[in-house]
A and B are shown apart, each in its own frame.
Chain A
């Protein structure tokens, strides 16, 4: 299947996008409009309003933030439609919501609820350990997590209009998000230097479709928008991810598990816009109150790592 990257993500003239499907233009295009913004996890309409007032470019509606999912254990599923509807009614910015990996019926339900973007998320318990959702069948766009280039391109091949690093959600520890961003950007630089015959081998090695590997080599970036996620807790964390080349930032537990959510949310929004300006970063980092309590990621068992879910 031919794939055409969204227009003008990079400076070069694409010139080959005549066959670009209009459906994918609007899916990937919404993500293009979210760039440079912060998407915040919220569990009710009140938090959604706080996030909107803070300058979030979208909210992620879910019943429990990842830190609580981690603490509570058990099976974690799509949120109650009533809560999602209340959040959609409360704000004018886009509303995203999570489904379990492979649970295409949860996705059908969210699409029916007019959610603006679906996160097929490893933070929830997996519903299918082999198959991700065939996202190209849906009119609503999807964002998916990835630890590396192969995983990102498999998700794009399935129809994802946006990618985010997996990081390690609910830890307040940015180390895994950094690892995944470094891995992805490193692999992108590597394919840019490869000859075509090497690209064939590389595509096979990372189990990614050749045409997408080739597109990455041509563009010098993922062919869709790529956000950071999983462990961002401070304005400095957010700016770090931006300087590592991410297009924007998801903040999950980091805001509403902190001492002063509204202030921290505003500070992270400013930090993502002014990510290269240390004077702004210094001033917004001041006096933010208690951050969320962080978890060391090196003590997590493999079974406790959300990032290991889905591949």
Chain B
């Protein structure tokens, strides 16, 4: 556990979705001082906010509420500032530079992560699933991580070479291919297509907290 920097104050974007679940996991980890629900520009611009999590939920909904609450530019500025950010599911879509299969008329994105995302890539809710993922960067990597995919997006393409692929999931009927990209890291930005906050396994949250401490230390 790297706790050389001071314990973190981590914001969770609380416009809509599974934000409480992220808070509940983060709040019990070492290296975290507190978590805070973020709904306003002032909360994002608060200099004591060390890192931000964009939770799962409906990305269309979150983007519309963010626009109407004047949060899009503060969110973009936060990502640009180099502070650690993690997006899960809808949060990953919002962080991506390009998204496909969005609502008619397209969708506003925060951007910053050089990937192309396809929304709802597996189909309807009856196609949602849990899959064991092999993620070498986590602690105890020999234990598979339970990937909860709910109307989940995938990363169709990685568009810059500094984006590191952390996990893939096999596609039905294409078991021999490499599989779809479902977790990536680009410097201070982490993104997962699945929901670690809906599991008992806190290794991904620990990974993010460690990553955040490293990023802040290097700044």
Contacts and interface: CB of A to CB of B under 8 A. Distances in A.
Given A30-B150, A34-B58, A53-B103, 19 more contacts: A7-B199, A8-B24, A11-B27, A26-B125, A26-B130, A26-B148, A29-B150, A30-B151, A32-B18, A34-B57, A35-B18, A36-B14, A37-B61, A54-B64, A57-B16, A92-B101, A141-B125, A274-B39, A274-B69
A10 B119 CA distance: 28
A25 interface: yes
Nearest to A88: B124
A236 B124 CA distance: 33
B119 A92 contact: yes
B103 A91 contact: yes
A57 B195 contact: no
A303 interface: no
Q: How would you classify the secondary structure of chain B's contact residues: helix, strand, loop or mixed?
A: loop
A114 interface: yes
B19 interface: yes
A234 B121 CA distance: 35
B198 A37 contact: no
A26 B199 contact: no
B21 interface: yes
Interface of A: 6-11, 13-15, 17-18, 20, 22, 25-26, 29-30, 32-37, 49, 52-58, 88, 90-94, 111, 114-117, 139-141, 266, 269-270, 272-274, 277, 280
- B: interface residue count bin: 35 or more
Nearest to B89: A33
A140 B27 CA distance: 32
Interface string B144-180: 0010111100000000000000000000000000000
A140 B124 CA distance: 9
Contacts of A35: 16-20, 57
Interface of B: 14-25, 27-28, 39, 56-58, 60-61, 64-65, 68-69, 89-90, 101-105, 119-120, 123-126, 128-130, 146, 148-151, 195, 197-200
A32 B151 contact: no
A22 B129 contact: yes
Contact of A10 (B24, B123, B129, B146): B24
Nearest to A275: B39
A140 to B, nearest CB: 5
Given A49-B104, A91-B103, A92-B120, A58 B58 contact: yes
Q: Which 7 A-B pairs have the closest CB atoms?
A: A22-B130, A116-B125, A114-B124, A8-B21, A55-B64, A26-B128, A36-B16
